[in-house]
C-alpha cells in the first residue's frame, strides 16, 4: 500500500506503512497530517490509515523548571522563614542590634578551649560591615 502525505503544503511519498510509521515515531510526520492512499476519495488524517499507530515510546519529558524560579506551587507552601516579610524584619532588626552589641557590649567566642573576647580589629571589621548594610538600606545603595 502506498501512502502519500501532505505536510507544509507539500505532497510527500509514496511511503509504505512501515516507513510512514517510522516517520511518525521520529517526529517527521504527525498523525494529524493529511494522507491519501489508493481507494480513498479524499485526504484524511494519517491516523486513519490502518497500521499507522501512535508512537509507543516513553512519554515526552515534562518541561524543565526554570532556573531561579519559584519552587513552590502556592505562597502558602513557602515556609515563613523564606517569605519576603520575614527577610525584611530580620534585615532591619538584626543589623542594628548587632551594631549596638558591637558598640556597647562585649562579644565572646571559643578559641582552643578558652573563652576569648572580640578584639578591636574584629569590632572594627564587623562594625564596618554593619554600617555598609545600614547604608545600603537607608541610603538606597543599589546595584
- Grid coordinates representing 137 are 538600606
Cis peptide before 14 (omega within 30 of 0): yes
Summarize pLDDT for 9-58 with one digit per residue, the tens.
888 889 888 888 888 888 788 888 889 988 888 998 888 887 777 665 66
pLDDT at residue 94 above 70?
A: yes
Taking Cα atoms as reference points, which of 53, 17, 10 lies closest to residue 37? Answer: 17
Q: Which residue has the cell 494529524?
A: 32
- Grid coordinates representing 101 are 552589641
State the average pLDDT over residues 102-117.
Answer: 74
pLDDT at residue 141 above 80?
A: no
Beta strand 10-15 with 3-7: parallel, antiparallel or unpaired?
antiparallel
Cite the DSSP H helix spans in the chain.
17-26, 84-104, 120-138
Amino acid at each position: 500500500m502506498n501512502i502519500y502525505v501532505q505536510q507544509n503544503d507539500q505532497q510527500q511519498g509514496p511511503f509504505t506503512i512501515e516507513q510512514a510509521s517510522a516517520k511518525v515515531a521520529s517526529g517527521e510526520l504527525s498523525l494529524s497530517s493529511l494522507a491519501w492512499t489508493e481507494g480513498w476519495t479524499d485526504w484524511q488524517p494519517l491516523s486513519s490509515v490502518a497500521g499507522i499507530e501512535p508512537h509507543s515510546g516513553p512519554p515526552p519529558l515534562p518541561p524543565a523548571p526554570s532556573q531561579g524560579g519559584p519552587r513552590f506551587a502556592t505562597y502558602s507552601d513557602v515556609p515563613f522563614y523564606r517569605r519576603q516579610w520575614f527577610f525584611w524584619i530580620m534585615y532591619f532588626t538584626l543589623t542594628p542590634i548587632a551594631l549596638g552589641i558591637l558598640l556597647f557590649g562585649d562579644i565572646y567566642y571559643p578559641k582552643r578551649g578558652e573563652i576569648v573576647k572580640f578584639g578591636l580589629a574584629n569590632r572594627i571589621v564587623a562594625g564596618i560591615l554593619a554600617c555598609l548594610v545600614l547604608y545600603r538600606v537607608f541610603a538606597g545603595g543599589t546595584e
